[in-house]
Amino acid sequence: MDDIETIKLRFRAGHHEEALAACAALVAARPSDPEPLRLNALMNGLMGRFAASAAQLDALLVLDPNDLEARYNLAVCQRESGQLERALEA
């Protein structure tokens, strides 16, 4: 199983789908670890997959409701997907 840094390198090298699959496996293996969730959300957001990113950020906020970075990024995803009202609530 890949670690976070290897997944980041894959994503930066343009192997986006491969990196997302590896990160999803890491999330499944470490469900209470916020870092794989954060990375998965970031990669999905960078690819314009705002709904997927928002789902990961929601899961991250379940682990830590006070995570301001996750809350901000969730609002950005919601704004980008046309959910301005939800973004203002986040």
Q: Please tell me what DSSP assigns to residue 10.
A: H
Q: List the end-to-end C-alpha distance of the chain, in Å, as a whole number.
A: 34
More confident residue, 82 or 84: 82
pLDDT of residue 87: 47
Closest CA to 31 of 63, 79, 72, 57: 63
Whether pLDDT at 75 is above 60: yes
CATH no. for residue 22? 1.25.40.10
Number of domains in the chain: 1
- Residue 34's domain comprises 4-89
pLDDT tens-digit readout, 9-66: 999 999 999 999 999 999 999 999 999 999 999 999 999 999 999 999 999 999 999 9
The model's pTM: 0.86
How far lies 70's CA from each of 10, 13, 34, 60, 80, in Å?
23, 25, 10, 7, 15
State residue 54's pLDDT score. 93
